[in-house]
Chain A
Amino acid sequence: EVQLVQSGAEVKKPGESLRISCKGSGYSFTSNWISWMRQMPGKGLEWMGRIDPSDSYTNYSPSFQGHVTISVDKSINTAYLQWSSLKASDTAIYYCARQRRAIFPDYWGQGTLVTVSS
C-alpha cells in the first residue's frame, strides 16, 4: 500500500526556521517525483514545487521560488520542505504528494499544520 506520512503539527515564531518531512513507503521511492502543496486557512490548494528523488532535481512555482527549499534523502525515503525565516503568512496546512507520470499528484500525505505566531 502506497503511503506518505508527514511529520506532526508545528507552532513557530516569525523569523524561526523549520523543516517538515514526508516519508514514502509501499513503492519505489526514487521512481516518482514528490510535490508539495499549500492550503491556507479557508483557501484552495497551491502547488509549491516538486523534486525528483532519484537525483534531487527541483522545480518551483514562481510564487514560492526563493521562499522555501525542497530536498530529499533517498536513503530514508523522505522528502523535506524547509523555511529559513518563517512569516505569519506561512500559516497553513502543507501536503506532500507522489507524482504519477511525473505530472500529477496521486497519493497524498495527511498534511502538516504549520502555525506561525508571535
Chain B
Amino acid sequence: DIQMIQSPSSLSASVGDRVTITCRASQDISNYLNWYQQKPGKAPKLLIYDASNLETGVPSRFSGSGSGTDFTLTISSLQPEDIATYFCQQYDNLLLTFGQGTRLEIK
C-alpha cells in the first residue's frame, strides 16, 4: 500500500493567515493526489484534484501544488469558515489511501 503522511496533525492559525499543510507519499504518485475538507459531522468535500486543480465552486484562496512524493495544500488567507479537518488522498493505484488528516483551528 502507498502510505500518505500528513503534517502537521493539527494547526492553530489566525484569520487572514497563510496556512500550509503538507502530504508526503511513500512512493512516486505523479500528480495523482486530491485534497478534501471535512467539517464536523459533515461529508468530506473535494477541494483540489490532480494535485493542483481547483474543484468547481471552491474559493480561490485554496490551492494545491506538488508532484512525485511531496504535495502542499495552501490557504492564502484563512477564513473562519475554513475550520475543518483536511486530508490528502492518492489514486496512483486502485487501492486508494488517505492521509491521517490535519485539524485546523482558529487562534
Show the binding face of A for B, using Cβ within 8 Å. 4, 35, 37, 43-47, 59, 61-62, 95, 97, 100, 103-111
Contacts and interface: CB of A to CB of B under 8 A. Distances in A.
B46 A61 contact: no
Contacts of B89: 45, 104-105
Contacts of A104: 34, 49, 89, 91, 96
A47 B97 CA distance: 7
Contacts of B46: 105-107
Interface in B63-100: 87, 89, 91, 94-100
A44 B99 contact: yes
Interface of B: 32, 34, 42-46, 49, 55, 87, 89, 91, 94-101
Please classify the interface of chain A as helix (H, G, I), strand (E, B), loop, or mixed, using the class held by over half of its residues.
strand
26 contacts: A35-B96, A37-B98, A44-B87, A44-B100, A44-B101, A45-B87, A45-B89, A47-B95, A47-B96, A47-B98, A59-B94, A62-B95, A95-B43, A95-B44, A97-B44, A103-B32, A104-B34, A104-B91, A105-B44, A105-B46, A106-B46, A106-B49, A106-B55, A108-B43, A108-B45, A110-B42
